């Protein structure tokens, strides 16, 4: 399985912090934000990772991460011009993915808890076409929201609804196979003008090929000033729930 980190965008919700820098370079407690999704992929046993970069300070992101050897990874990069949604960014990675299953982690997602190697292996060995981790939140209207049937099965996702149908959201960890690129190629922009990852996930629901697991650790995004603070507090306290660290603790630079 290969890995993808999405680290583009303009991060207007974090202004003025991101007026002159990429939000993924902002500190989350004792390390840059982008370290956390990379650590998440490394904890799955993934060793080949593509970082999709864009917006400001692209060169700084590359200088920070280098070739990934200090994580025990092989890092490469792809530039995203503009920001048209998660699915559009994933579509840029087709050549890198090739014929392999892959996991995409959003660059502002902070997961603290059990490693996901077993979940990744379960998806890779299954016949399901796409998957995501679900998490209960108090403010689901900020996210894509899962709709469940009476048996607790996901029957659809709705992007940032005004009246959420549950408190379960797909967090920014997506498991996909190469046929997802054909699905992305047929998407139309949403009312927000973006190509939504929830539309990709919805494609696999009618034939029962959507893989979901509820994440039992601790999670937050870091896309707003309040959630940036929560992320730092979560990272500060992660010794109590297990720290996901790079294979090498050799300092960078």
State the DSSP string of 184-232: HHT----TTSS--HHHHHHHTTTTT-EEEEE--SEEEE-SSHHHHHHHH
> Checking DSSP bridges between strand 48-53 and strand 2-7, what pairing results, if any?
parallel
Residue 202: C-alpha distances to residues 152, 172, 192 (Å): 16, 15, 17
Helix (H, G, I), strand (E, B) or coil at 79: strand
Per-residue model confidence as pLDDT tens digits over 82-102 = 878 999 999 999 999 999 999
Query: Does residue 248 surpass a pLDDT of 70?
Result: no
SS3 content of the chain, % helix, strand, coil (to 5): 30, 25, 45
Calpha distance 158→180 (Å, rounded): 19
Structural domains in the chain, sorted by start? 2-240 (3.90.550.10)
Per-residue confidence band for 143, with pLDDT thresholds at 50, 70 and 90: confident
């Amino acid at each position: 399985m290969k890995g993808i980190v999405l680290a583009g965008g303009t991060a207007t919700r974090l202004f003025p912090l991101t007026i002159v820098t990429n939000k993924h370079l902002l500190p989350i407690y004792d390390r840059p934000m982008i370290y956390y999704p990379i650590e998440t992929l490394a904890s799955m046993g993934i060793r080949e990772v593509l970082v999709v970069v864009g917006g400001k300070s692209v060169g700084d992101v590359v200088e920070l991460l280098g070739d990934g050897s200090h994580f025990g990874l092989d890092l490469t990069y792809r530039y995203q011009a503009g920001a048209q949604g998660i699915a559009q960014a994933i579509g840029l990675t087709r050549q890198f993915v090739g014929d392999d299953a892959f996991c995409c982690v959003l660059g502002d997602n902070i997961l603290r808890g059990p490693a996901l190697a077993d979940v990744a292996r379960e998806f890779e060995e299954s016949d399901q076409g796409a998957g995501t981790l679900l998490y209960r939140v108090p403010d689901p209207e900020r996210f894509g929201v899962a709709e469940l049937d009476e048996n607790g099965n996901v029957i659809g996702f709705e992007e940032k609804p005004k009246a959420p149908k549950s408190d379960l959201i797909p967090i920014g960890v997506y498991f996909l196979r190469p046929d997802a690129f054909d699905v992305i190629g047929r998407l139309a922009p949403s009312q927000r003008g973006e190509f939504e990852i929830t539309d990709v996930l919805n494609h696999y629901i009618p034939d029962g090929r959507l893989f979901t697991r509820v994440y039992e650790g601790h999670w937050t995004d870091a896309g707003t000033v309040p959630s940036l603070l929560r992320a730092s507090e979560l990272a500060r306290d992660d010794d109590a729930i297990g720290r996901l660290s790079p294979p090498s603790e050799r300092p960078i630079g």
